[in-house]
Structure 1
């Protein structure tokens, strides 16, 4: 049975992610302890709200070094994906975890598309990856966000919102989903299952 730690740091939708993983048979631990993070088999970094607040919580709990040093599979969800990058233009500029190169920017949608991007959008695969195994090209995922990650070498899949929205990213053992896999029906459940099956 797979074991996974979820960072519980006061800036994430922890319960729904926990329940989704437990439905898949995972043993889940909620933690804000750096030692437990270092020992975890897999780690999920959830996130909702503002990047600056999330980073301040991680600093207050002295978790930033533990996340940066984590060498086994790590998945950032929603804001958690954005936190993996270098910085965000949110507010006066926010320094992020620096695990994937690039700067998070305000979402600029196509005509007639509101911000935040909220609802179901299709995923378009850029390249294959174990996290996307069994997820059909064009599968729907559920998004809620007003900032967007840079589209670059880390991008595995995008959504179209009047321009490409990097929906799944990867750099080494760090993956990110801009959408909420725990709310994305069969496609999201398959991605979480894939994450649990990644070699630790």
Structure 2
């Protein structure tokens, strides 16, 4: 792929990755509710989910989502519902927890990873992004697959870098808080952010 074709796409991918959305909100929520390890695991999960979404787009799922309102809604509501449940559970746990219990009940890195695999993989906007936008950077006179792989890798890696920066910044901010009562509120805030991410995903439209 020619550099002058790739560069505008990379810039667009960076802009899309930097703008906060449901994925960034869930990462920040895990940072506040469960710490840096869970936040970084959620970044890895989001990257994996993005990779699955890109692969699904290349396999033709994007065309199905673009053509079917029902398929789009199913993808959207499954991902949104999962986030909403995780957020509500985090808020409820913080309300029931005592000080000692609060110290030992963060969401595990594995759970954070799997959550964001679902969020990234079930986000219909990512799939449609490749169908409606990324395809404009594919030259029809050259082999399709190598170009699609370059564009997909660019998007996934760019998002992984920016998501990592969000995770580290949010984890550092959450780590400043040491008092147990304040930490309980940061866990509630984290759960609220994850819940809000699910609501935002549910509110998306084509």
- Shorter-chain TM-score range: under 0.3
Structure 1 or 2: larger helix share?
2
- Taking structure 1 as the reference length, the TM-score comes to 0.25
Which protein is bigger by CA-based radius of gyration?
A: 2
- Taking structure 2 as the reference length, the TM-score comes to 0.25
Structure 1 or 2: larger strand share?
1
* Bigger RCO of structures 1 and 2 (CA < 8 A, at least 6 apart): 2
